[in-house]
Amino acid sequence: MKTVLAALGAQYIHTCLAARSLRESARQAGFAVALCERTVNEPFDALLASLALEQPDFIGFSCYLWNISLVRELCAELRKLLPQAFLCLGGPEVSFCAEEVLRTLPEADAVLAGEGEKGFPALLRALDAGEPLAAVPGLWFREGGELRAAAPAAPVPMESLPFPYPELLAGDAASLGGKILYFETSRGCPFSCSYCLSSREGGVRLMPAALACERLGVFLSARVPQVKFVDRTFNANRTHCDAILAYLLEHDNGVTNFHFEIEAELLAGSTLALIRQARPGLFQFEAGVQSANGKTLRAVRRSENVSRVLERCTALREAGNCHLHMDLIAGLPYEDYASLGRSFDAVFRAGPDMLQLGFLKVLHGTQMEEDARRLGIVRQTRAPYEVLFTPWISYEELCRLKKIDSLCGSLHNSGRFGASLPFLLRDFPSPFAFFEALAAFAEESGAFERPWGRYDGHALLLGFCRSRGGDAQRLRWLLRFDALRDGRARGLPEFLTPSQPPEAAALLRGAARDEAALLSQFPRLAAVPPPERPAEIRRALRFAWFPFSPLTGEEGACVVAIDSVENETKPVYFLAVKNSRGK
């Protein structure tokens, strides 16, 4: 029986952990399974051909919010092209509404609900042998014109899960194309957030730490770029969490980055102590705050201890060596526009590298689906079932928040405006007030109606500053500094090249010749043989004149040196400032 698993990702860079785990489970049971890993952004006809021309007997789809509409369309056409093929759906988008899916998608033969590492091989075995499907755990299927359901799938022991990346075991990391690889060391969640499907699972199951570390060693040996843990709350068990972090610290290969979703309130002192030992770039963390409104948090069954969450996030940020991503959700019960603004300010002031303002998705099978009906929360009918309005926040306000989130992402989250944004923020009562005013200006100027070029964000900030009568000349220098740290010295637009006095050229030449000062600021240059050092300085360092220090604000002409080689590979900028007054 020719079997294909279709994994339609949101972007090329992603791999599908679920489909890979099912494929390896089937292989262990003696079944050969092909993986068709594509993206939802490809032409429909190309996706259809990639499946139909293989002439498989079985096609399984891994279904999520981002691909369920496309999966439905593919099933409709595949049924015409492959009338005898068995079409089966699985994944979180169909597991909690399997009967409804089969009633509304007559082309599908079955839905495999829940964890499928046991059910998928059992289904292939039954189909191959022509046996009844009623014994396949978690399966909803058609029989005699009726829909039938087998017994629910039992939770799979974590130690029985196969390693999902056989390419790495075979020494073929190149075939994965540098994609993000996903990994799990636990299933379930200790919390019961009403908007999350993980709340449907009882408790947390852990993979033995020794096995988890052994498998992480495979990623480290292959020197893959990034591994993202899909554990819903990685630090739910402190002992488990600390054991894995300690292993990664000890075996750090200097290349691989590991991403974790954590509950900041549970962040223990021992865990923070381990994190502080990491090299910059080894770890990154995502912490969901969702709201700073106590009534809202109670309504969605989250802890109300916002001060503890923010304090732990601030401590994590102050460690200075890891990327911190913090989340908010707009559209939750009892949170109006003003309250959301206060939540935004509270999170922004904790100093995350990335602040993501998400919008409530009312998912099938969650408590929020029932609460939405009771509370009058209205969502879109189509996936991803995003909130349209609530009794507390209007559709117009949500649209305004999306513009604010877009600007926060392009300007703050990008990390490209580290000098200019703080300069502008100081003139506003709060971060939210700044982004709200900037969004109104951007809308008036048509900035949301066109794709942005490399320096359109710089131009927007400068225009915004001028519109408010701010110190646009000083901002121009700060924007120039941000542009130089972020990219090339040449090719900057005219508004990022303010005029310089005649003596600037002499200062720049003097700074480039001051090897002693440059070696103190850029120690890596000491490894360059002295005869080759001047050429390396010219190649690697970018020098720029400023009328004040863009780092400290100190008045007086200075020269800033930026190591462009380091800038290409690390999120740290190596700077040297030489003040013309000798300070």
φ, ψ of residue 77 to 5 degrees: the values are: -80, -35
H or E stretch including 218? helix 209-222
Q: Is the pLDDT of residue 577 over 80?
A: no
pLDDT of residue 489: 61
* DSSP structure class, residue 386: B
* DSSP structure class, residue 507: H
pLDDT tier at 507 (50, 70, 90 boundaries)? confident
Q: What residue spans of 235-299 are helical by DSSP H?
A: 238-250, 269-276, 294-299
Question: Under a CB-based contact definition with an 8 Å cutoff, are residues 357 and 398 in contact?
Answer: no
pLDDT tier at 144 (50, 70, 90 boundaries)? confident
The tokens describing 460, both together, are 């927007």
Q: Is the pLDDT of residue 574 over 60?
A: no
pLDDT of residue 10: 93
- Percent of the chain predicted with pLDDT > 90: 82
- Three-state SS across 316-361? HHHCCCCEEEEEEEECCCCCCHHHHHHHHHHHHCCCCCEEEEEECE
Domain ranges in the chain are 3-149, 162-392, 394-497, 499-579
Instruction: List pLDDT tens digits, range 14-44.
Output: 999 999 999 999 999 999 999 999 999 999 9
Q: Does the structural domain 3-149 have CATH classification 3.40.50.280?
A: yes
Cα atoms in the Cβ-side hemisphere of radius 13 Å centred on 158: 17
The tokens describing 561, both together, are 């040196």
C-alpha distances out from residue 202 to 198, 199, 205, 264, Å: 9, 7, 9, 21
10 Å Cβ neighbour count for 303?
Answer: 16
pLDDT of residue 543: 87
CA angle at residue 276 from 272 to 280, to 5 degrees?
130
C-alpha distances out from residue 522 to 28, 518, 566, Å: 53, 6, 10
Tell me how far apart the alpha carbons of residues 133 and 419 are, in angstroms, rounded to a whole number. Answer: 63
Q: Is the pLDDT of residue 556 over 60?
A: yes
**Collapsing DSSP states into helix, strand and coil, what is residue 147?**
strand
In the chain, what are the helix, strand and coil shares in percent, each to the nearest 5? 45, 20, 35
Instruction: List pLDDT tens digits, range 436-462.
Output: 999 999 999 999 999 999 999 999 999
Q: Is the pLDDT of residue 572 over 70?
A: no
Query: Taking all residues of the chain, what is their mean pLDDT, rounded to a whole number?
Result: 93
pLDDT tier at 155 (50, 70, 90 boundaries)? very high
Q: Which residues contact 311 (CB under 8 A, 6 or more apart)?
A: none
CATH match for 162-392 among 3.30.1490.20, 3.80.30.20, 2.40.70.10, 3.40.50.1220: 3.80.30.20
pLDDT of residue 520: 82
**Range among 319-328, 508-517, 539-548, 555-564 rated most confident:** 319-328
* DSSP structure class, residue 472: H
Which range among 240-249, 435-444, 564-573 shows the weakest confidence by mean pLDDT? 564-573
Span 199-219, mean pLDDT?
A: 91
pLDDT tier at 575 (50, 70, 90 boundaries)? very low
Q: Is the pLDDT of residue 89 over 50?
A: yes
Q: Which amino acid is at 406?
A: S
The tokens describing 568, both together, are 């290409």
Q: Which amino acid is at 536?
A: E
Instruction: List pLDDT tens digits, range 370-420.
Output: 999 999 999 999 999 999 999 999 999 999 999 999 999 999 999 999 999
pLDDT tier at 488 (50, 70, 90 boundaries)? low
Q: What residue spans of 96-199 are helical by DSSP H?
A: 98-104, 119-129, 166-169
Span 115-141, mean pLDDT?
A: 96
Counting every residue, how long is the chain? 583
Tell me whether domains 3-149 and 162-392 share a fold: no
φ, ψ of residue 228 to 5 degrees: the values are: -105, 120
Sign of CA dihedral 572, 288, 199, 392: negative
pLDDT of residue 491: 80
pTM: 0.90
pLDDT tier at 515 (50, 70, 90 boundaries)? confident
Tell me how far apart the alpha carbons of residues 506 and 523 are, in angstroms, rounded to a whole number. Answer: 25
10 Å Cβ neighbour count for 14?
Answer: 17
φ, ψ of residue 524 to 5 degrees: the values are: -65, -25
pLDDT tier at 570 (50, 70, 90 boundaries)? very low
Instruction: List pLDDT tens digits, range 281-310.
Output: 999 999 999 999 999 999 999 999 999 999
